[in-house]
Amino acid sequence: MTEIYPILTPAQHALLSARHHNPFEVLGRQLENGENLLRVHLPHAVAVWLSPDAPLQRLGDTALFEWRGEMPSLPYQLQWQAQDGTLHTTYDPYSFPSPLLTDFDLHLFAQGQHFYAQRFLGAHPCEVAGIEGVRFAVWAPNAQRVSVVGDFNQWDGRIHQMRVREGVGIWELFIPQLPTGTVYKYEISHRETQSVFLKADPYAQGAEKRPNTASYVVPITQHQWDDQAWLEQRAQPNAWLRQPMSIYEVHLGSWQRHADGEFLSYRELAEQLIPYVKKLGFTHLELLPVSEHPLDASWGYQTVGFFAPTSRYGSPDDLRYFIDQCHQNDLGVLLDWVPGHFPKDAHGLAWFDGTALYEYADPRQGEHRDWGTLIFNYGRNEVRSFLISNALYWLSEFHIDGLRVDAVASILYLDYSRQAGEWIPNQYGGNENLEAIDFLRQLNTIVHQECPGVLMIAEESTSWPQVTRPTWVGGLGFNMKWNMGWMHDTLTYMSQDPIFRAYHHQHLTFGMLYAFSENFVLPFSHDEVVHGKRSLLDKMPGDSWQRFANLRLLFTYQWTYPGKKLLFMGGEFAHGLEWNEARALEWSLLDYPHHSGMQLLVSDLNQLYRQYDALHRYDFEGAGFSWVDCHDAGQSVIAYMRRCEDDELVVILNFTPVPRHGYRIGVYHPGLYREIFNSDAQQYGGSHVTNSELLSEELPWMNQRHSITVTLPPLAGIVLQRVI
């Protein structure tokens, strides 16, 4: 029986069968038996030339061609004829210098200490040996072979096989004359099973719009930032601690849409969303994840392209423009970031090289069954480099002002949403993920070192201690934490019919026992208005008037209570339906007075919060708050003071629909008090039960030497200021 390739070496056999880990050992300029030769691999060629009078010889009936003669200078061009007769001219990728990546970059990456890994991994337009092209690099240590594939090579994994850097498992290749915008994936052959599959680039900075799943080569950014003044101000040490922060949480795809249902682009959002939010008085936007995700209904929380801004709304530079415009309008931008899990989509990170590379291998550690996703392996150095680099990518290259880290509890606890026997204890027998704790501390330390003034905010739903305390005292190192307990208690209370609220008074008062144990954000987020939970308005009891009055009262309570503020889009005008990511908000509701009145109330609350230092200077310190009376459960009334060195405000909230005339409260200072805010005002849709100027009496009350009598409007809150 005649052999098919009688003249081929084992290395050449491996290359032709797409099993070679270093094609540079076979292709390009070679020295064999003391003779210089040039070898190329062109599976779709019938003839190849260095020049018209320098044809290469085909080796048997293979796709290998050789030249033996005077060697051309590197890099060299090839002319070749395809099977359909067309002629092509191209540089040989294997004629360019190799290796491309520095040993130092590879060492830091393998140690979990490379914090800008996206700068050498992924697809990067660059120039090598004077020729423009794209440098590709990907981590796949258990692959037998990795190739770059796309339309440019007919998705044929035999053509652009990559070279592995031994010891670290990173594959690299420079493809000359490849333009930006080129769509590509990696074709990976598993070392053991020889199975072949396609993967999107984990470090790609651009991805096709769904339902397509390939990566594309993003051009070097052309955006010229104009927010230097903003960044300098942001970097002032601990400036955020005593500044007002009122956050408008938004899902870009459903805030507003075109008449035909198409998304607004990042640039269109800059024209429409920014002035809207600024007019309402919010200080920050918080974007639900804008990393590429295949399923709209995941809202971005099942991320596949961690380094790729979603193409739903435009290009990466379009997103840069949007953020730049926010900063020029004194509006900060926070981004929801998801380092806790990733989906199992075939083109994503799951079993990336045929093994559990980014995730824990044991499903008792590596799978979120509730969400159908996989958990990052926080103990693996390369995964840490990936995640920390991703955080710094958004913060440094997009000038994001802070990351709201999603689902921190699921990261911290090994038994999160698991029954007995479904999880593996740590080395001490506990349920804490020690690797994840160490990762979070490292993450926050590096972020604060690299990006001064940037905020790290934890969505952490348990009583884990010291989430917002420095790492050097044993904390996790976050700046702020969502106060999920306050949110749940408050909504539980507000959902009660007022006649029963006297029996749930503790839901209003309990939160103050721990209010200053962490730096808290008070969130009414998207999670509270989906999946049958109803809109904020529909959570409120009573008839139509009472529901609106309750919601106005709820917002008054939120904006005057210690902590930074967060409200999901639509809440500001009492959106009637649950949020649905598939359609825009019902903006036509603003034609109705109660809805437009709610919008005005939120705007005025933001103005009040920003204007009076007493409402924000000591959001995280007990010095800024004291109870006036927290015991009047029978009438469902609470009263408290918000204060700072040069300002003091009295807040009184009536959680029943009964107006209360002659209600006496104690005050520390004698003098004349005036009402500076009333949620029952007519312009908000209220009944306009208000107070004129109030002169204190020297009548001790509520452990104070002086007191005043006020009229409490129904289901409303008032704010008083001493004027003299």
Query: What size, in residues, is the chain?
Result: 724
* 20 vs 37: CA distance, rounded Å: 20
Q: Which pair of tokens denotes residue 269?
A: 């959002």
Contact at 8 Å (CB) between 220 and 185?
Answer: no
Number of CB atoms found within 10 A of residue 430's CB:
12
Question: H or E element: which one contains 448?
Answer: helix 434-450
* 323 vs 165: CA distance, rounded Å: 38
Number of CB atoms found within 10 A of residue 96's CB:
22
User: Within a 13 Å sphere around the CA of 162, how many CA atoms are in the beta-carbon half?
Assistant: 33
Report the b/e string of 4-28 with b at 16+ CB within 10 A: eeeebeeebebbbebebbbbbebbb
- What residues form DSSP beta bridges with 627? 640
User: At residue 165, what are phi and psi to the nearest 5 degrees?
Assistant: -95, 110
Q: State in Å, rounded, how far the first CA of the chain is from the last one.
A: 109
* 103 vs 107: CA distance, rounded Å: 6
Contact at 8 Å (CB) between 271 and 318?
Answer: no
* 54 vs 43: CA distance, rounded Å: 20
3-state secondary structure at position 541: coil
* 189 vs 181: CA distance, rounded Å: 26
Q: At what angle do helices 381-392 and 434-450 cross, to 10 degrees?
A: 40
Query: In angstroms, what CA-CA distances link 136 with 159, 170, 566, 603?
Result: 14, 10, 41, 49
Query: In angstroms, what CA-CA distances link 270 with 180, 326, 599?
Result: 26, 7, 21
Cβ partners under 8 Å of residue 280, min gap 6: 248, 572, 599, 602, 603, 606
User: Within a 13 Å sphere around the CA of 292, how many CA atoms are in the beta-carbon half?
Assistant: 32
Percent helix, strand and coil across the chain, each to the nearest 5: 30, 25, 45
* 104 vs 374: CA distance, rounded Å: 31
Q: Catalytic residue positions?
A: 406, 459
* 161 vs 142: CA distance, rounded Å: 15
Query: In angstroms, what CA-CA distances link 670 with 391, 494, 700, 716?
Result: 52, 33, 11, 25
Contact at 8 Å (CB) between 567 and 247?
Answer: yes
